[in-house]
Amino acid sequence: MRAPYIIIAGGFSLLTGCQSLDSVNPVQPEAVAQNAAKPIATEVDQKTVDSPVVINDVWQRIRLNMHLPVPDNKLVNQYRNWYIKHPKHLEQISERATPFLYLIVNEIQKRDLPMELALLPVVESAFDPFAYSAGAASGLWQFTSPMAKYFGLKMNWWYDGRRDVPAATVAALDMMEYLYKKTNQNWLYAIAAYNTGEGRVLNAIKRNKRKGVSTDFWSLDLPTETERYVPQLLALADVIKNADKYGITLKPIKNQPQIEVVDVGDQIDLAVAANLADMSTSDLHKLNPGFNRWATAPKGPHYLVLPISKAKHFKQALSQTEPDDRLNWERYKVKSGDSLSTIAKHYRTTVEALKAVNNIKGNTIVAGKFLLIPVAAKNPDQYTLSLEQRTSRKQNRKRASAKVNYQVKSGDSFWKIARHYKVKVSQLASWNNMSPRDPLKIGRKLVIWTTDGQASLNAVMRTVRYKVRSGDSLARIASKFNVSVTQLVKWNALEKQKYIQPGQMLKLYVDMTKVRT
């Protein structure tokens, strides 16, 4: 696993081990929901107190159940000092963790695992379920695709189980249990293996044994990222456990279920579901970050995470909703030259979805026939947390350079494109909400922000200062320079201006080979 956030010098590497994984149980997020609905009584050592302590705050529950020793170590001290000097970071973490932390703590206690594991999402993703690292790891627990698939998480066009918090929590703790067994039942080894793979950890132990030196974690020769990963977690655990001592204030999180996982039975538009739950679409999507598009996946999972206060009303409203009202449908007449792939692309759906809805066995469609197509209840732009909209915002974030729109061709690679436009591979991937390890598909549209790059092999990019003339409009200027009105607005911060005036100066980033004469 890899954390996309660098707290102190150095990042965290991908999980690259686990080459000989044994079979594990499939993920069952419903089980997490059941456990979350049954608070686990937290017992306090009776040698310390004479009467039971009432636990009202999940952070307090975590503090009372952390037992891994924290050594006096240079890196541990360095990370501890960082957290103490940046209290707002943990304040933000507490805010993000509020919906999910009770569920995670319950699952950890049910398995009798170290409570320190509840803090791994802080190190991995800063408790952001939408986090995506340069190492192609995603979600709260930062699963890579191979490990996600192995531990039972589904991933497809509609849904990414790495970001589904209940499902990914089960998978992550399954993985920790597996690593604990594989690494001689040593939790520091297991936590290190979560970062770098059990193969590297076991090989490091073998090397030290051959040399006749200590094999404790602190003596192992591991990647720098891993050597920092474990100390960071231990330092964080010490700061959380002794928050009062260090002057850290964490937002209290009630020691009771915050969310409920509700079985919806079939595919449903997120906007329709949000309306039934009396929520905004964005608020619903924040609790269900595993869904990539405007609806849940046609083939499941068929459940939604809802605030505990909304679940009962939602279930009642859903029971009174006709199945056909869960999605909006459009009747499309097939034209000559159409294909399932072109129709699916136009309607922002998949070929598989069209086949399933219309009971099509092969890939042949007949001109003149009609297809039923599921369409979003709202304009797709209104689903602000869909993968498409999050990528679009990342691509169009204003930067002090010219934007080049590029379509991937056969033979392209991140390295080849980045070299041509004189940018870094890491920048190119980040601008497009991708990892350098992600595959590039032919036809994919990328954006490149460059000061001296080329829009094409023969392009000539220039910064143009244009003086508005009488009769000009944004549309007319955009057409003249072969750019979009949206680009003009962003380049010149015109969002709050209704009109442009003669004499006003505008800045444009223009491919001079495409300017109208």
pLDDT at 361 > cutoff 90: no
| DSSP reduced 3-state for 57 | strand
Better-scored residue on pLDDT, 386 or 190: 190
Which residue would you say has higher pLDDT here, 210 or 249?
A: 210
> How many whole angstroms separate alpha carbon 437 and alpha carbon 414?
9
Predicted confidence at residue 507, as pLDDT, reads 84
Q: What is the pLDDT of residues 227-240, one digit of tens each?
A: 999 999 999 999 99
pLDDT score recorded for residue 245 = 93
pLDDT at 496 over 70: no
In this prediction, residue 63 carries a pLDDT of: 94
Please tell me the pTM assigned to this model: 0.70
Mean pLDDT of 175-195: 96
User: Per-residue pLDDT tens for 277-302?
Assistant: 999 999 999 999 999 988 998 888 99
Residue 27's pLDDT band (boundaries 50, 70, 90)?
Answer: very low
- Please state, in angstroms and rounded to a whole number, the distance separating the CA atoms of residues 300 and 273: 15
Q: Output 358-365 pairs: Cβ under 8 A, ≥24 positions apart.
A: 363/339, 365/334, 365/338, 365/339, 365/340
Q: What is the band of 513 on the pLDDT scale with cuts at 50, 70, 90? A: low
Rounded to 5 degrees, what are φ and ψ at 464? Answer: -115, 135
Distance CA 195, CA 209 (A): 22
Told to judge if 177 belongs to the known catalytic residues of this protein, a careful annotator would answer no
Domain ranges of the chain: 29-246, 259-325, 328-376, 397-450, 461-514
Per-residue model confidence as pLDDT tens digits over 96-133: 999 999 999 999 999 999 999 999 999 999 999 988 87
Query: Between the CA atoms of 170, 173, 175 and 181, what dihedral angle is there, to the nearest 10 degrees?
Result: -140
- Is the pLDDT assigned to residue 503 strictly greater than 60? yes
What token pair was written down for 4? Answer: 């996309």
Dist. CA 427–CA 405, nearest whole Å = 15
Percent of the chain with pLDDT over 90: 46
The region of weakest confidence among 238-247, 270-279, 307-316, 411-420 is 411-420
Of the pLDDT bands very low, low, confident and very high (cuts 50, 70, 90), residue 512 is low
DSSP sequence for 414-478: HHHHHHHHT--HHHHHHHTT--TTSPPPTT-EEEEEESS--SSTT--EEEEEEE--TT--HHHHH
pLDDT at 21 over 80: no
Q: What is the mean pLDDT of residues 423-444?
A: 84
Determine the pLDDT at residue 362: 87
Write down the pLDDT at residue 83. Answer: 95
Query: In the predicted model, what is the mean pLDDT of residues 435-457?
Result: 73
Task: Determine how many CB atoms are found less than 10 A away from the CB of residue 399.
Answer: 14
Of residues 215, 383, 409, the one with CA closest to residue 296: 383
Angle between helix axes 187-196 and 224-241 (nearest 10 degrees) is: 130
Place of tokens 């699963």: 143
Place of tokens 């066995």: 361
Mean pLDDT of 400-409: 79
| HSE-CB of 345 using CA atoms within 13 angstroms | 7
> Are the beta carbons of 205 and 215 closer than 8 angstroms?
yes
Tokens 């920048």 locate to 427
> Could you give the 3-state DSSP secondary structure of residue 269?
strand
Largest CA distance in the chain: 88
pLDDT in the model for residue 457: 42
3-state secondary structure of 359: coil
Is 510's pLDDT higher than 70?
yes
What tens digit of pLDDT does each residue of 41-74 get?
444 454 445 566 788 999 999 999 999 999 999 9
The dihedral region occupied by 300, where left means phi > 0, alpha psi between -120 and 50, and beta the remainder, is left
Looking at the DSSP bridge assignments, the partners of residue 57 are: 254
Q: For 462-500, give the secondary structure using H, E and C.
A: EEEEEECCCCCCHHHHHHHHCCCHHHHHHHCCCCCCCCC
- pLDDT score of 509 more than 80: no
Please identify, in words, the CATH class of the domain defined by 328-376.
alpha beta
Q: Check if 29-246 and 461-514 are the same fold.
A: no
Domain 29-246 fold: Lysozyme (1.10.530)
Burial letters 168-183, b for 16+ CB under 10 A, else e: bbbbbbbbbebbbebb
What's the mean pLDDT in 314-334? 89
Give the CA distances from residue 466 to residues 452, 499, 502, in Å, rounded to whole numbers and listed in that order: 20, 16, 11
**Apex CA 280: angle with CA 277 and CA 284, to 5°?**
70
Of the candidates 30, 43, 116, 124, the residue annotated as catalytic is 124
Highest mean pLDDT among 201-210, 290-299, 407-416, 489-498: 201-210
Question: How many whole angstroms separate alpha carbon 159 and alpha carbon 27?
Answer: 15
Give the list of residues 6+ apart from residue 376 with CB closer than 8 angstroms, or none.
Answer: 269, 271, 294, 295, 328, 348, 382, 383
- H/E run at residue 329: strand 328-333
Rounded to whole angstroms, the Cα distance separating 139 from 28 reads 17
The pLDDT assigned to 395 comes to 75
List of residues 6+ apart from 161 with CB closer than 8 A: 27, 148, 152, 153, 154, 155, 167, 168, 171, 290, 301
Say if CB 501 and CB 468 are below 8 A apart.
yes
pLDDT band per the 50, 70, 90 thresholds, residue 195: very high
Options 3.20.20.190, 3.40.50.720, 3.40.50.300, 3.10.350.10; CATH for 461-514 is: 3.10.350.10
Class of domain 397-450: alpha beta
Strand 402-407 and strand 370-375: pairing? unpaired
